[in-house]
């Protein structure tokens, strides 16, 4: 049994995203966090102090532990942001702003 079977889900066609450069399969409708969990990934941030790994904690957008860099945009909450085909998801180091300057990020996308 898995959650998809339990709810008799018929998801759309899986697509591919990358996590730290390696391909990961994702389903339409999933959040970034759900796609990474489904791929067995539980950590995608390292803290700015001790460099410790973090991932989902509260799962509802309150704790900000699951911050991740998607397509060069840092500090996205993986538990809220839907995954899109071709997304480049990267482990966020520290503030996430060291290589992706906030003023130079791409246009907003919903």
Segment holding 54, helix H or strand E: strand 53-54
Name which of 18 and 43 has its Cβ closer to other proteins. 43
> Is residue 72 helix, strand or coil?
coil
Name which of 18 and 42 has its Cβ closer to other proteins. 42
Nearest 5°: the CA angle 16, 18, 24 is 55
CB of 16 to other proteins, least distance (A): 16
Closest listed residue to residue 83, CA positions, set 15, 6, 21: 15
Beta-bridge partners for 19: 22, 89
Contact footprint for other proteins (CB under 8 A): 1-12, 27-31, 33-34, 37-38, 42-43, 47-50, 52-65, 67, 73, 75-77, 79-82, 94-95, 97-98, 101-105, 108-110
CB of 19 to other proteins, least distance (A): 14
CB of 23 to other proteins, least distance (A): 18
CB of 69 to other proteins, least distance (A): 13
Residue pair 76/19 in contact by the 8 Å Cβ criterion: no
């Amino acid at each position: 049994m898995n959650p998809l079977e339990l709810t008799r889900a018929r998801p759309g066609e899986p697509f591919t995203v990358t996590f730290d450069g390696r391909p990961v399969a994702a389903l339409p409708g999933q959040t970034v966090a759900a796609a990474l969990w489904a791929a067995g990934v539980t950590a995608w941030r390292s803290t700015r102090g001790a460099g410790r790994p973090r991932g989902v904690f509260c799962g509802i957008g309150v704790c900000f532990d699951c911050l991740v860099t998607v397509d060069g945009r840092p500090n996205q909450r993986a538990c809220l942001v839907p995954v899109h085909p071709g997304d480049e998801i990267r482990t966020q180091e520290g503030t996430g702003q060291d290589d992706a300057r906030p003023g130079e990020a791409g246009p907003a996308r919903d």
